Amino acid sequence: MRKSLVAGLAILLASCSPKHSVVAGGEPNTGKNLVGWYGCGSCHEISGLPEAKGLVGPPLRRIARRVYITGSVPNTPANLMHWIREPRKVDARTIMPDMGISEQHGRDIAAFLYTLD
Ligand code: HEC
């Protein structure tokens, strides 16, 4: 009973959540190149990028459909950008490194991640 209530709530949340596909000022094609440049694929499988095969972090796919990212942070463009730029400020224990990504690059990468199937 309780379990199905929780499952129902999760489905409700998922269906209510907006599909984040637009990051103001972010350019998805640039973001795609930057993901290659920063080597995100050494830790993540990324849908549509066959060379991105890393298994250290979770596969990056359907990010726009997620209610939460990293299992705890509400999925908003601002939170996704913050995670990309300073993951260790969001979660001090994560092994995802802060890579010195600029604000504009963070925008472009977030815009790209929101296009993933
Ligand atoms: C050294 C390995 C490593 C590198 C390099 C790395 N990540 Fe991560 N990433 C992780 C790990 C591990 C997690 C899971 C962290 C957690 O949930 O606390 C993660 C989580 C994420 C998430 C959240 C995924 C989800 O399912 O909620 C996103 C988005 C992300 N990374 C994007 C990137 C991007 C973009 C880059 C390149 C700029 C990158 N990562 C580079 C290891 C890495």
Closest by CA to 20, choosing from 114, 96, 84, is 114
Q: Is residue 1 assigned to a domain?
A: no
CATH of residue 24's domain is 1.10.760.10
Q: Is residue 3 assigned to a domain?
A: no
The Cα 9–Cα 105 span in angstroms is: 35
Q: Which residues line ligand 1 (CB under 6 A)?
A: 35, 38-40, 42-44, 56-58, 60, 69-71, 83-84, 91, 94-97, 99, 109, 113
When divided into structural domains, the chain yields a total of 1
Closest-CA residue, ligand 1 atom 23, reads 70
Q: Is residue 93 assigned to a domain?
A: yes
Q: Is residue 6 assigned to a domain?
A: no
Q: What is the pLDDT of residue 13?
A: 52
35-73 tens-digit pLDDT? 999 999 999 999 999 999 999 999 999 999 999 999 999
Q: Which structural domain range is residue 40 located in? A: 20-113
Closest-CA residue, ligand 1 atom 22, reads 70
Under the banding of pLDDT at 50, 70 and 90, the label for residue 8 is: low
Q: Is residue 82 assigned to a domain?
A: yes
Give the predicted TM-score (pTM) of the model: 0.87
Q: Is residue 87 assigned to a domain?
A: yes
